[in-house]
Amino acid sequence: MKRKSSPVNHSLILGVSGGIGVYKALELLRLFQKAGFETWVVMTENAQRFVSPLSFQTFTPNPVITSLFTEPLVHIELQKREILLIAPATANIIGKIACGICDDALSTITCAFPGPKVLVPAMNKEMWENPVVQENIRKLKSLGYHIMEPKEGELASGEWGKGRMPEPEEIFAFVQSLLSQKKEGILSGLKILITAGRTEEDIDPVRVLTNRSSGRLGKELAEKAKDWGADCLLIAGRMEEKPEGVKIISCRTASEMLSLLKRESKKNDILIMTAAVGDYKPLVREKGKKIKKKSFSLPLVKNVDILESLREEKLFKVGFSLDSEAELIKEAKRKLKEKNLDLICANSFASLESDFIEATILSRDGEIERLPRMTKREFAAHLLQKIKTKFNEKVKSFT
């Protein structure tokens, strides 16, 4: 009898690694197939010791992938699928992914996959609590992986503890929820105001006082916020490259930026202040002629503090603190309180003119999250998810 197929709504790669929870992956595959998913199964060598590829082939019309050598370009071909789910995810496959090791079909496909990735860890209690495993989990979370943590219950060893794979229905609901957020946009309905780039203060008609900020992080934040459904406005100083498809208002000086922010802040829900605003400006601007003296002194005065000027504004405010390693957290805590911020991201001078950033995120509620070095694109995604969570908590506290 020919199997009745549902209309295709989504596409999913189901990765299966070698744990006792493999038998649940069969039921999980059946649920996705029944719901109209186009499914592709990728099995590790150890997974095949528990369940044969033929068992999975029963539920999916697509070939079950067990090796890169039979399908050498499969890791490229599967990039267009919608979501990747690994269930169960053993400590071994988690460690490989966290370290960028690509030595089999599943680890290689995961490394090459650009879309949302979900891991469902399943292992014994001691392995789950191992500091190395927990460090790998933290790293993957910071890189944007979705982790569905194991349940507490009776394990394969007969012991009781955390490490049990969630039931197929729970995993199915988790993935459906993620796809729903992706479709609607996790930032849909929010108006986000972002500043980026560097300000300039005129010395004379030719020269300016400025800094080395490239504006790359602001660009990544604006593009990701737009992709995730936010109504995004970028107020931009000088930038190396501006984002595509985002409304932009340009400015040069700190005073111009502050004026624009005061005008726009009441129309928005969230302000993310990534712009590198000059701390000082010339006391006097030489007008009408270029300075040609062999030597001259340049008196400077303190520039306007934009976030301090906006401390009474009611929108959710995110600041950045650039400082030396020695003073990083201390200064960030001070600014968080004095400028009445909801979040502040502390990072060192090393991130200037770089595609990478290593930052610590401090929250008004006292939470401190130290992140590993990552690309600014990865950091932008993580920060926006964090902002969404904290914004929702703040809104809930007022209702």
The residues that are catalytic are 211
Q: How far apart are CA 242 and CA 237, in angstroms?
A: 10
Dihedral sign, CA of 62, 67, 73, 75?
positive
Q: Is 335 annotated as a binding residue?
A: yes
Q: Is 59 annotated as a binding residue?
A: no
From the list 86, 103, 84, 89, the residue with the least C-alpha distance to 20 is: 89
Tell me the CA distances in angstroms from 305 to 308, 355, 359, one per residue in order: 5, 27, 22
- The first and second tokens of residue 338, run together, are 């004095």
Q: How far apart are CA 160 and CA 158, in angstroms?
A: 7
Q: Is 113 annotated as a binding residue?
A: no
Q: How far apart are CA 104 and CA 3, in angstroms?
A: 32
Q: Count Cα neighbours of 186 within 13 Å in the Cβ-side half-sphere.
A: 19
Binding residues for CTP: 279, 289, 320, 335, 339
Binding residues: 279, 289, 320, 335, 339
